[in-house]
């Protein structure tokens, strides 16, 4: 008989058991479930709700069950529905009626809410460490490419010269914000719901604060209905992971472009590339493509969670069982992508000359020559028009701006002098942009030092 089966006159249909069961996916929360139960039963004994002897026996037996599970000595049962009922059923099988006291003052509703918060808290910590490792690799690669000039793009058209270091440090900022979002998410997640009961609390004099301290929570939930029925912390995590994967997907798209023959800015290491079954010359950026593709499933999980929760009345509804597979899949996907993506970046070879050659084309110094005229006293809009006509002339005559001799330049403005060539050299274009946050070598060095200091705290 099921632990809740007293009201029923016949067993549930086997197909219903399978449909209703969540043990296939919530078994991964066994550790959190047992640790939560251990804190709960310790509190029950401390508060005199059950005897200290029974509390100690249940506590010790739960420890033993945890060890047995981790040693592969426990098989979970589908007809026990979920990890919570499986653990309790194993406990009762080992110590009899004493084990039936574990659920005193507790519902599966607040137990599930506790377990998922603890599990997500642990996974957030793991993902944050993966992000830090990716950021460290990006910083290291940036330090090696402080003077590697490349074209910066807008609309995927060459725009202005920057450095590879500046480009990569943009992603450092993005991924660090992802790290901060996970930290902020954890603040709202790390609130202890046990004691909410099914929806209306309990008549037992539970010490909720004691359980919160035992389990490392920052506070307890303030409303018993909210404590069991909302999953906004799951949505928030799914959103954070979606934003993270969006950043990884954008970066992947650039990696895919950069290692193409048309760009040839980088070459991926053989260990992080694949070949073609029919074309022997191919070297494919499958890791980057898969990261780009897997972002879609993470976005989809967020939309699935929003859809599941959008119409639910208070308080708990069985629909909420659907929260776990979606967020678990997002977690698994991110944890799969980040390490291999980090190694791919760390091992890639940068073709500095190719990047420099690309920066020399496409008139990436056009803004700088316009600024040169502004410094000579010409209003910017007038200067903009002059350089626009100059670019049109260069295109018609298959020249770059720096190829024009001084006589040609003076046909556009008498303000041009020989110092213009230094002003529009790519090194000058990059290093004159030395405001905080700019691409100048010294600015990027300061940005790197600042991020290193943040990571060292």
Distance CA 354, CA 41 (A): 66
Structure tokens at 327: 């967020």
3-state secondary structure of 369: helix
Query: Helices 366-375 and 380-396, interaxial angle, to 10°?
Result: 140
Question: CB burial class (10 A; 0-12, 13-18, 19+) of residue 212?
Answer: buried
Distance CA 404, CA 426 (A): 16
CA distances from 442 to 327, 402, 423, 438, 453 (A): 42, 25, 18, 9, 17
Distance CA 155, CA 162 (A): 16
Question: Cα torsion for 310, 313, 316, 321, to the nearest 10°?
Answer: -30
Active-site annotation holder among 51, 56, 125, 276 = 276
Active-site annotation holder among 155, 277, 398, 453 = 155
Nearest one of 249, 5, 208 to 113, comparing CA atoms: 208
Is it true that the peptide bond before 167 is cis, omega within 30 degrees of 0? no
Query: Helices 286-309 and 323-347, interaxial angle, to 10°?
Result: 160
Distance CA 441, CA 144 (A): 12
Question: Would you call 247 a catalytic residue per the annotation?
Answer: no
3-state secondary structure of 401: helix
- DSSP for residue 348: P
Question: Would you call 276 a catalytic residue per the annotation?
Answer: yes
Distance CA 194, CA 114 (A): 6
**CB-CB contact of 194 with 208 (8 Å):** yes
Q: Which residues are tagged catalytic?
A: 155, 276
């Amino acid at each position: 008989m099921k632990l809740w089966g007293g009201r029923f006159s016949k067993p549930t249909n086997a197909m219903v058991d399978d449909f209703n069961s969540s043990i296939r996916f919530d078994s991964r929360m066994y550790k959190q479930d047992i640790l939560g139960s251990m804190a709960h039963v310790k509190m029950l004994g401390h508060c005199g709700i059950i005897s200290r002897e029974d509390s100690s026996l249940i506590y010790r037996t739960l420890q033993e069950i945890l060890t047995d599970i981790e040693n592969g000595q426990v098989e979970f049962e589908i007809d026990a529905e979920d990890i919570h009922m499986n653990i309790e059923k194993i406990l009762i099988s080992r110590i009899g009626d004493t084990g039936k006291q574990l659920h005193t003052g507790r519902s599966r509703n607040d137990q599930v809410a506790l377990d998922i918060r603890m599990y997500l808290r642990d996974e957030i910590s793991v993902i944050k460490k993966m992000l830090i490792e990716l950021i460290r690799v990006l910083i290291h690669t940036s330090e090696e490419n402080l003077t590697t000039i490349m074209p910066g793009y807008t609309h995927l058209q060459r725009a202005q010269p920057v450095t590879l270091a500046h480009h990569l440090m943009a992603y450092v900022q993005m991924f660090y914000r992802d790290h901060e979002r996970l930290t902020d998410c954890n603040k709202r997640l790390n609130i202890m719901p046990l004691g909410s009961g099914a929806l209306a609390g309990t008549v037992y004099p539970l010490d909720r604060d004691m359980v919160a301290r035992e389990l490392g929570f920052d506070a307890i939930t303030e409303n018993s209905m909210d404590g069991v029925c909302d999953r906004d912390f799951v949505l928030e995590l799914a959103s954070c992971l979606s934003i993270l994967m969006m950043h990884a997907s954008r970066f992947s798209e650039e990696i895919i472009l950069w290692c193409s023959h048309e760009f040839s800015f980088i070459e991926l290491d053989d260990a992080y590339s694949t070949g073609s079954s029919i074309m022997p010359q191919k070297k494919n950026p499958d890791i980057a493509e898969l990261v780009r593709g897997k972002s879609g499933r993470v976005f989809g999980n967020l939309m699935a969670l929003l859809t599941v929760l959008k119409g639910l009345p208070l308080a708990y509804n069985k629909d909420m069982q659907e929260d776990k597979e979606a967020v678990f899949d997002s977690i698994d996907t991110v944890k799969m992508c980040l390490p291999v993506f980090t190694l791919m970046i760390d091992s890639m070879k940068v073709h500095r000359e190719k990047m420099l050659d690309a920066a020399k084309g496409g008139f990436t110094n056009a803004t700088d020559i316009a600024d040169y005229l502004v410094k000579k006293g010409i209003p910017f809009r007038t200067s903009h028009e002059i350089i626009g006509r100059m670019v049109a002339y260069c295109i018609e005559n298959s020249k770059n701006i720096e190829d024009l001799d001084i006589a040609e330049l003076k046909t556009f403005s008498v303000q041009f002098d020989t110092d213009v060539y230094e002003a529009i050299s790519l090194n000058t274009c990059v290093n004159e942009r030395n405001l905080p946050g700019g691409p100048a070598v010294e600015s990027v060095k300061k940005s790197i030092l600042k991020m290193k200091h943040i990571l060292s705290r």
